[in-house]
Homo-oligomer: A and B are copies of this chain.
Amino acid sequence: MSYKFDESQPIYLQLIEIFKTNIANGTWKAGEKIDSVRNLALDFAVNPNTVQRALVELENIGLAYSQRTSGRFITQNQELTRNLKHEMAENKTRDFVKQMQAIDIEQKAILDLVQRCLSLEE
């Protein structure tokens, strides 16, 4: 694995984002077992406590649960994982539009930019 972390943000927050992304895009499926804290820490080359902190957050929002000795799992609740994807998509869109409007980009120009960016990848 081995990610590059952004220096401008705490690693545990970036881990949360990565984990949520894994759930949203189906890399981590509902009910599936997650790799152990220690292994994840090795993969991401960070301290186990940092991973632990991010995973506890994931539990707090109901996306995962842990079983003391058998490991940690993604929630069985497929409703939740599906919602996550939509929520993330809508939040990111809202943020994006807000930022574009803050620098005074017109509606049509926003759509054009997105379209152009998408068409670069076909």
Contact = CB atoms under 8 A, between A and B. Distances in A.
Copies in the complex: 2
A59 B73 CA distance: 49
Interface SS, A side: helix
B21 A102 contact: yes
A96 B85 contact: no
A101 B99 CA distance: 19
Given A8-B10, A8-B13, A117 B93 contact: yes
Contact of A118 (B88, B102, B110, B115): B110
Interface of A: 8-10, 13, 21, 24-26, 85, 88-90, 92-94, 96-97, 99-100, 102-105, 107, 109-111, 113-115, 117-118
